[in-house]
């Protein structure tokens, strides 16, 4: 499965990096700042006191040079030939030198090769000048942002003053004008707007407004349209459960708002998957154990109409997490089901670590817990056919917010999260027993 890449091109201070970071955070992917690559070379030269910007010198110097990027959560550290250059990247002298050396072919090749190599390791949102046109011409979504020179200068002045850099509006305006000229007039890979890029003039919009617009565009590109057949199955299931059972959903507004993301539920009956389909709709994608699906005829039939991500209990399939995150970004609810075996007595069994691994690997910010009540007595394990005309009550909880991905994926973090997930479902179960079960 190929990785996906979103590019944002545009002139300096058009809002690229702020927006790229926001979107990266929202999608749970990494931000690739191509400008920082040019700045890293420039910072190294400045710090080591290398004054030469001669093409022949730089070309042979870069042949043995190494650029390394280390992510610490969403923050990236840059190393050039083992010198950490991160602290020097935002200096204006470094920016000017970066813009100057960026005209050279060997420098551009060096940066582009590094960008392409890193992009093979995951999903990224990358910003720069020529990313959609030259570096990633096949990017999944492309944006081109711009704003008037004056408003960009105002933003950059504010940014620099916040960082404690002594500057003035006139000085910043002049530096930006100069860099605009260097970036758009150079012969090799100048700043251009790719034909297939979504264009936004950010002058009179807030960052949040632009972010929303970009997000709508990204969702449009990734969203999938379910087939009419699947839509009909869901309509049929809803009618079936309403007709033969007192089917009640509490907290349905949470599932309606939670259009895509990870959903987990208790598992006591064959009906569970069908009830989740009724609730979440035709875009639902199931994550299921290959072993369980293979040996169970009923589950094979149900799941054959809906997309499945199969998991081998022993090994995670290659690209499994990428598949999960792509599914979610396509606007589909991803349902972990069946989470192990059905419970023998209707109680919630200890969770497997699979769900926690998905949350941590895919850096998911929230998950939706659902408790399906009443179905155990309708169709418990060991019974061939269900009983009818009983009550099914589904409790949809507020999405559970997950924080602390940055703290790693160690055993302790996994156990804590797994307990938290189970606890939320247990609370729903308690609420169900106290409020609804006695009336069934």
Binding positions for ligand CDP, rule: CB under 6 A:
12-13, 17, 34-36, 38-39, 95, 98-99, 102, 128-131, 179, 183
Segment holding 308, helix H or strand E? strand 308-311
Least Cβ distance, residue 12 to ligand CDP (angstroms) = 3
Nearer to ligand CDP, 97 or 342 (CB): 97
Nearer to ligand CDP, 130 or 339 (CB): 130
Nearer to ligand CDP, 119 or 393 (CB): 119
Burial profile 46-69: b = 16 or more Cβ within 10 angstroms, e = fewer? beeeeeeeeeeebeebbeeeebeb
Within 320-365, strands assigned E span 333-336
Strands 366-373 and 391-396: antiparallel
Kindly report the CA angle at 335 between 123 and 212, in degrees rounded to 5?
50
Least Cβ distance, residue 157 to ligand CDP (angstroms) = 12
Nearer to ligand CDP, 7 or 303 (CB): 7
Matching residue, tokens 């970066």: 98
Nearer to ligand CDP, 99 or 303 (CB): 99
Least Cβ distance, residue 36 to ligand CDP (angstroms) = 6
Residues pairing with 246 in the sheet: 391
Segment holding 24, helix H or strand E? helix 16-27
Least Cβ distance, residue 60 to ligand CDP (angstroms) = 21
In 166-306, alpha helices (H): 169-185, 207-222, 228-244, 252-257, 271-280, 290-295, 297-304
Token pair for 410 = 């160690």
Nearer to ligand CDP, 12 or 114 (CB): 12
Give the nearest residue (CB) to ligand CDP: 35
Least Cβ distance, residue 100 to ligand CDP (angstroms) = 8
From residue 122, give the alpha-carbon distance in Å to each of 16, 189, 311, 348, 357.
Answer: 20, 25, 20, 35, 17
Token pair for 288 = 């299921």
Least Cβ distance, residue 93 to ligand CDP (angstroms) = 12
Nearer to ligand CDP, 127 or 272 (CB): 127
Least Cβ distance, residue 126 to ligand CDP (angstroms) = 8
Within 329-413, strands assigned E span 333-336, 366-373, 391-396, 400-401
Which residues fall within 8 angstroms of residue 117, CB to CB, at 6 or more apart?
Answer: none
- Residue 67 has phi, psi (to 5 degrees) of -115, 130
- Distance, in Å, from the CA atom of 42 to the CA atom of 101, rounded to the nearest integer, reads 8
Nearer to ligand CDP, 129 or 142 (CB): 129
Nearer to ligand CDP, 68 or 322 (CB): 68
Least Cβ distance, residue 89 to ligand CDP (angstroms) = 8
How big is the chain, counted in residues?
440
Least Cβ distance, residue 245 to ligand CDP (angstroms) = 59
């Amino acid at each position: 499965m190929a990785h996906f890449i979103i590019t944002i091109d545009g002139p300096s201070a058009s809002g690229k990096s702020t927006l790229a970071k926001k979107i990266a955070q929202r999608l749970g992917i990494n931000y690739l700042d191509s400008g920082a690559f040019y700045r890293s070379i420039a910072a190294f030269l400045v710090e080591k006191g290398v004054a030469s910007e001669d093409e022949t010198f730089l070309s042979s110097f870069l042949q043995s040079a190494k650029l390394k990027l280390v992510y610490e959560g969403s923050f990236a550290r840059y190393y050039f030939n083992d010198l950490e250059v991160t602290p020097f990247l935002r200096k204006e002298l470094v920016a000017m030198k970066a813009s100057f050396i960026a005209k050279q072919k060997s420098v551009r090749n060096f940066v582009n090769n590094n960008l392409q190599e890193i992009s093979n390791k995951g999903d990224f949102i990358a910003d720069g000048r020529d990313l959609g046109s030259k570096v990633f011409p096949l990017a999944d979504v492309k944006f081109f942002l711009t704003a008037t020179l004056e408003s960009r200068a105002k933003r950059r002045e504010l940014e620099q003053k916040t960082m404690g850099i002594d500057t003035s509006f006139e000085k910043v305006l002049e530096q930006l004008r100069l860099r605009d000229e260097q970036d758009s007039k150079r012969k090799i890979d100048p700043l251009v707007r790719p034909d297939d890029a979504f264009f936004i003039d950010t002058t009179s919009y807030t960052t949040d407004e632009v972010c929303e617009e970009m997000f709508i565009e990204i969702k449009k590109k990734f969203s999938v349209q379910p087939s009419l057949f699947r839509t009909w199955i869901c309509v049929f299931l809803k009618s079936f459960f309403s007709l033969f059972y007192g089917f009640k959903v509490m907290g349905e507004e949470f599932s309606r708002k939670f259009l895509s993301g990870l959903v987990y539920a208790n598992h006591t009956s064959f009906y569970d998957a069908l009830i989740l389909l009724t609730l979440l709709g035709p875009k639902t994608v199931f994550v299921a154990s290959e072993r369980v699906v293979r040996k169970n005829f009923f589950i094979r039939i149900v799941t054959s109409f809906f997309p499945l991500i199969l998991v081998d209990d022993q090994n995670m399939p290659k690209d499994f997490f990428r598949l999960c995150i792509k599914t979610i970004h396509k606007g589909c609810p991803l349902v972990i089901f069946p989470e192990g075996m059905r419970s023998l007595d209707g109680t919630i069994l200890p969770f497997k670590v699979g769900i926690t691994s998905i949350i941590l690997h895919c850096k998911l910010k929230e998950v939706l817990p659902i408790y399906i009540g009443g179905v155990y007595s309708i169709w418990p394990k060991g019974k061939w056919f269900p009983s009818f005309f009983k009550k099914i009550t589904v409790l949809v909880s507020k999405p559970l917010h997950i924080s602390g991905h940055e703290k790693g994926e160690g055993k302790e973090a996994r156990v804590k999260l797994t307990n938290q997930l189970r606890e939320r479902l247990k609370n729903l179960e308690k609420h169900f027993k106290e409020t609804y079960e006695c009336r069934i």
